[in-house]
Amino acid sequence: MSNYYELLGISRNATQDEIKRAYKKAALKHHPDRNPNNKESAEAKFKQVGKAYQVLSDTQKRQTYDQFGEEGISQMGGGGGFDANFDPFDLLRQFGGAGGVGGVGANIFGNMFNQQQSEKQQKVKADPVQKVVNVELKNLYNGQRSSFIFQKKIKCKKCDGLGVKDKRLIRHCTLCNGTGKIAHIKRMGPMTTQTIKTCYQCNGRGTYSDYNDKCRECKGEKIVANPTKIDYYIKPGMSNGDKIIMRGQGNWEGDCLESGDLYIVLNELKSKSSFIREGENLLYTMKINLVDALTGFTFYIKHMDDRFLKIVSGDIIIPQQSMKIMGEGMRKKSDSLDYGDLIIKFLIVFPEKISDERKKYLKKILPSPKKQIWDIEPSDDDVVDEIVLDYLNNEDVRNNSSYHSSTSRTTSNDNISNSNNTGNNNDINNAQLNEDDELFNQPVNCQTQ
Ligand SMILES: [Zn+2]
Ligand SMILES: [Zn+2]
């Protein structure tokens, strides 16, 4: 086998940059996929080129090689200077893919050095980080562009992520032989137990450096915090708990090739608006007066995109009745144009008191069932007792019940008609809404009209 320098076509004084460039060029040239006619000999050469890079890119190994040749490398350290798990295809992939597409910055080569030094399996990408953002239903309906400042951990520029003043000051950990792990063997009588622990000398990194050699900027941590503005977009129809994934916008971790992802997790705040989301539908609770429930009325709903929906009802609305408006709910999926429905639940406000005078009129006006011959009225002799009806629970129930208007807002005379009331109709209809209301929590009876 020809010597490593000849293999890569470089001089003995080649710099690390030259070695990297020469390696990539040679590896692509000899890649078996690019040599379909002589795959086998190309692959052998491809492996040799990788081996040459493995040695020459490591200052310590290069020195040994220069003095003692390949044999010197084999005798280096515990398991020798050659990594038994070395995969030349993986190496090239780290340089920008087996196809040789570029785009791998010089900083990545810096980490390659660390990776070569330690026989420990290095992470390619740092772990993702999560950031929870609060969002109102209105913004989930309309979509929203927003941003926040993220204390992003980036590679220390001063030491290029090495954590030391110079890469020659990185020491290979001989205690764990660069694996970052050490085995503890305990003997108890005939039993032996082995536990694997993180190496205390290198903290599992496989390499370490002396305190005085550490980079002053990052204090040897390899990373520094860099406040970064993150712009993100909430698509209409997204839901509580949805994740927006920002690829590569997360933190960098020492020795990783790439920064991790940033996950933006949506946290829907308790609705301040009159709308409540139920899956792809929206629920809107509306109080109406008894007279409107009986005679019909026109009302307006201000939607979350500020449109006013004009709704004309000519039919009688019965207690607990719900109606729906097709297609006025939430967007079904954030990438579709289908919408759920808007369900309007009516709560009928009954008058608290009606004067005897008015009662007479009402009896005359409102239809009452005609007496049938089988409607029996007992004679006075049959009546045992005269009973006064009492409330089932206590006065509170009666006062809270939506069947009664609150005295401050409505009397039998004071008619809160919704007709042509565009400006503050939300206020009127919802000022008294309270989710603890007994009636509020009753099952929605979805009827279509
Ligand atoms: Zn160690
Ligand atoms: Zn540093």
| pLDDT at res. 350 | 92
- The single residue listed with the structure tokens 């007709």 is 419
Q: Which ligand lies nearest to the CA atom of residue 118 in the structure? A: 1
How many whole angstroms separate alpha carbon 11 and alpha carbon 57?
14
Which is more confident, 141 or 367? 141
Confidence of residue 167 (pLDDT cuts 50, 70, 90): confident
CATH of the domain at 50: 1.10.287.110
Q: Do 258 and 285 sit in the same domain of this protein?
A: no
Q: Do 262 and 286 sit in the same domain of this protein?
A: no
Q: Which amino acid is at 89?
A: F
CATH of the domain at 250: 2.10.230.10
Note whether residue 282 is domain-resident. Answer: yes
- Using the predicted structure, report yes or no on whether residue 355 has a pLDDT greater than 80: yes
How many whole angstroms from 62 Cα to the centroid of ligand 1?
A: 22
| pLDDT at res. 64 | 84
Note whether residue 428 is domain-resident. Answer: yes
Q: Do 307 and 358 sit in the same domain of this protein?
A: yes
| pLDDT at res. 193 | 83
Residues with a beta carbon under 5 angstroms from ion ligand 2? 156, 158-159, 215, 217-218
Q: Which ligand lies nearest to the CA atom of residue 163 in the structure? A: 2
How many whole angstroms from 94 Cα to the centroid of ligand 1?
A: 25
How many whole angstroms from 180 Cα to the centroid of ligand 1?
A: 5
How many whole angstroms separate alpha carbon 261 and alpha carbon 264?
10
Q: Which ligand lies nearest to the CA atom of residue 171 in the structure? A: 1
How many whole angstroms separate alpha carbon 215 and alpha carbon 209?
10
Mean pLDDT of 76-100: 65
SS3 assignment, position 324:
strand
Q: Which ligand lies nearest to the CA atom of residue 209 in the structure? A: 1
Which is more confident, 216 or 80? 216
Lowest-confidence segment of 248-252, 377-381, 410-414 by average pLDDT: 410-414
Going by the DSSP 8-state scheme, the letter that residue 33 receives in this structure is G
* Bridge partners of residue 101, in order along the sequence: none
How many whole angstroms from 106 Cα to the centroid of ligand 1?
A: 27
| pLDDT at res. 411 | 34
How many whole angstroms from 192 Cα to the centroid of ligand 2?
A: 43
Task: Give start and end residues of each alpha helix (H) in 95-148.
Answer: 106-117, 137-142
Domain containing 410: what range? Answer: 275-446
Average pLDDT, the chain: 79
How many whole angstroms from 170 Cα to the centroid of ligand 1?
A: 12
| pLDDT at res. 395 | 54
- The single residue listed with the structure tokens 């330690």 is 118
Q: Which ligand lies nearest to the CA atom of residue 155 in the structure? A: 2
Task: Give start and end residues of each alpha helix (H) in 209-328.
Answer: 290-295
The residues, ordered by sequence, that sit 6+ positions from 176 with a Cβ below 8 Å of its Cβ are 182, 199, 201, 202, 206
CA 415-417-421 angle, 5° bins: 140
CATH of the domain at 435: 2.60.260.20
How many whole angstroms separate alpha carbon 146 and alpha carbon 359?
58
- Using the predicted structure, report yes or no on whether residue 308 has a pLDDT greater than 70: yes
- Using the predicted structure, report yes or no on whether residue 90 has a pLDDT greater than 90: no
Confidence of residue 106 (pLDDT cuts 50, 70, 90): very low
How many whole angstroms from 114 Cα to the centroid of ligand 2?
A: 14
| pLDDT at res. 117 | 41
| pLDDT at res. 81 | 66
| pLDDT at res. 123 | 74
Q: Do 298 and 233 sit in the same domain of this protein?
A: no
The dihedral over CA atoms of 405, 408, 411, 415, expressed in degrees to the nearest 10, equals -80
| pLDDT at res. 306 | 94
- Using the predicted structure, report yes or no on whether residue 29 has a pLDDT greater than 90: no
How many whole angstroms separate alpha carbon 143 and alpha carbon 235?
5
Q: Which ligand lies nearest to the CA atom of residue 206 in the structure? A: 1
How many whole angstroms from 410 Cα to the centroid of ligand 2?
A: 71
Q: DSSP for 226-251, please give it.
A: EEEEEEEEEPTT--TT-EEEETT-S-
How many whole angstroms from 223 Cα to the centroid of ligand 2?
A: 7
Q: Which ligand lies nearest to the CA atom of residue 78 in the structure? A: 1
| pLDDT at res. 275 | 94
Note whether residue 118 is domain-resident. Answer: no
Give 190-246 pLDDT, tens digit per residue: 888 888 889 988 888 888 888 889 999 999 889 999 999 999 999 999 999 999 999
Provide the domain count of the chain. 3
Q: Do 323 and 412 sit in the same domain of this protein?
A: yes
Note whether residue 77 is domain-resident. Answer: yes
Q: Do 355 and 251 sit in the same domain of this protein?
A: no
Note whether residue 120 is domain-resident. Answer: no
- Using the predicted structure, report yes or no on whether residue 389 has a pLDDT greater than 90: no
How many whole angstroms separate alpha carbon 421 and alpha carbon 2?
92
How many whole angstroms separate alpha carbon 410 and alpha carbon 85?
82
How many whole angstroms from 129 Cα to the centroid of ligand 2?
A: 22
| pLDDT at res. 1 | 55
Q: Which ligand lies nearest to the CA atom of residue 221 in the structure? A: 2
Q: Which ligand lies nearest to the CA atom of residue 166 in the structure? A: 2
Q: Do 434 and 288 sit in the same domain of this protein?
A: yes
| pLDDT at res. 180 | 87
Note whether residue 324 is domain-resident. Answer: yes
Which is more confident, 211 or 378? 211
How many whole angstroms from 206 Cα to the centroid of ligand 1?
A: 5
Task: Give start and end residues of each alpha helix (H) in 386-446.
Answer: 395-400, 425-430
Lowest-confidence segment of 161-165, 216-220, 420-424 by average pLDDT: 420-424
Q: How far out from the chain centre does Cα 354 lie?
A: 56
Q: Which ligand lies nearest to the CA atom of residue 165 in the structure? A: 2
Contact predicate 443/437, CB 8 Å:
no
- Using the predicted structure, report yes or no on whether residue 348 has a pLDDT greater than 80: yes
Quick one: which of 407, 301, 284 has its CA closest to 349? Answer: 407
| pLDDT at res. 435 | 40
The residue from 268, 290, 309 where one domain ends is 268
Contact predicate 224/217, CB 8 Å:
yes
The residue from 69, 104, 139 where one domain ends is 104
Q: Do 253 and 142 sit in the same domain of this protein?
A: yes
Q: Do 211 and 65 sit in the same domain of this protein?
A: no
Q: Which ligand lies nearest to the CA atom of residue 218 in the structure? A: 2
| pLDDT at res. 39 | 83
| pLDDT at res. 233 | 95
Helix axis angle, 16-30 to 106-117, nearest 10°: 90
Note whether residue 411 is domain-resident. Answer: yes
| pLDDT at res. 248 | 92
- Using the predicted structure, report yes or no on whether residue 119 has a pLDDT greater than 70: no
* Token pair listed for 83: 């990594």
Q: Do 319 and 205 sit in the same domain of this protein?
A: no
Q: Do 31 and 59 sit in the same domain of this protein?
A: yes
| pLDDT at res. 77 | 59
Note whether residue 116 is domain-resident. Answer: no
Confidence of residue 140 (pLDDT cuts 50, 70, 90): very high
CA 123-198-177 angle, 5° bins: 75
How many whole angstroms separate alpha carbon 177 and alpha carbon 207?
9
| pLDDT at res. 30 | 87
Count the neighbouring beta carbons within 10 Å of the beta carbon of residue 302.
Answer: 16
- Using the predicted structure, report yes or no on whether residue 429 has a pLDDT greater than 80: no
Mean pLDDT of 71-95: 72
pTM of the complete model = 0.54
The residue from 57, 89, 104 where one domain ends is 104
Mean pLDDT of 86-105: 57
Q: Do 286 and 433 sit in the same domain of this protein?
A: yes
- Buried (b) or exposed (e) across 280-289, using 16+ Cβ within 10 A? bbbbbbbbbb
- Using the predicted structure, report yes or no on whether residue 376 has a pLDDT greater than 80: no
The residues, ordered by sequence, that sit 6+ positions from 155 with a Cβ below 8 Å of its Cβ are 107, 161, 222, 223, 224, 252
How many whole angstroms from 168 Cα to the centroid of ligand 1?
A: 17
Mean pLDDT of 140-159: 94
Q: Which ligand lies nearest to the CA atom of residue 169 in the structure? A: 2
